[in-house]
Amino acid sequence: MDSQVDELEVARETVGMPQLDFATFPNQIFWLVVTLVVIYLILDRVALPRIAAVLAERRGAITNDIARAEALKLQAEEAEVAYQKALADARNEAQRIVDKAKAEMQEQLDIALQKADAEIAARTAESERRLAEIRDNAAAAVEVVARDTAVAVLEAMGTTADAQAVDSAVAERLRRDAA
């Protein structure tokens, strides 16, 4: 039994962690190298090319998107410049149309004012002519009434007057009143 106990103790001493057993180091190192080579080959032949392709595709997509964005930005700037130019042209055209309309309206207004002035001048001349005619007729009527009244007053007083003397007296009195 002592021998069994001794064997157990030796087994216990030698058992420990198998990775740290120097007797298995060459075998462990061989499989470590084989595993690393297999992992390296898998990464080198399969995984890394796929990752590189994905990265290159993403880089290309980003480059294309940036280029497209720059092109769209340039188009937007050109469109804005064209819009501003069209807006300025439209404003200038509108101003020209307004100025033309104002000029035409002013011309029509001037023509209408000239016609109105001419009509007013004609009516004023006609009115002045009528007023002068009425004034002359009134003055003649006043003279006739004054003569008739003077003759009637003289007759009422019982005297007779010479028609020529009455005419000259009435004319003299009207001249003094007019002055």
Percent of the chain having pLDDT more than 90?
Answer: 54
What confidence score (pLDDT) does residue 141 get?
A: 80
CA–CA gap between residue 42 and residue 28 (Å, rounded): 21
CA–CA gap between residue 144 and residue 110 (Å, rounded): 49
CA–CA gap between residue 34 and residue 12 (Å, rounded): 31
Mean pLDDT across 96-105: 95
Contacts (Cβ under 8 Å, ≥6 apart) of 142: 174
- Number of structural domains, the chain? 1
CA–CA gap between residue 135 and residue 140 (Å, rounded): 8
DSSP 16: S
pTM above 0.85, yes or no: no
Domain that holds residue 107: 2-178
What confidence score (pLDDT) does residue 115 get?
A: 92
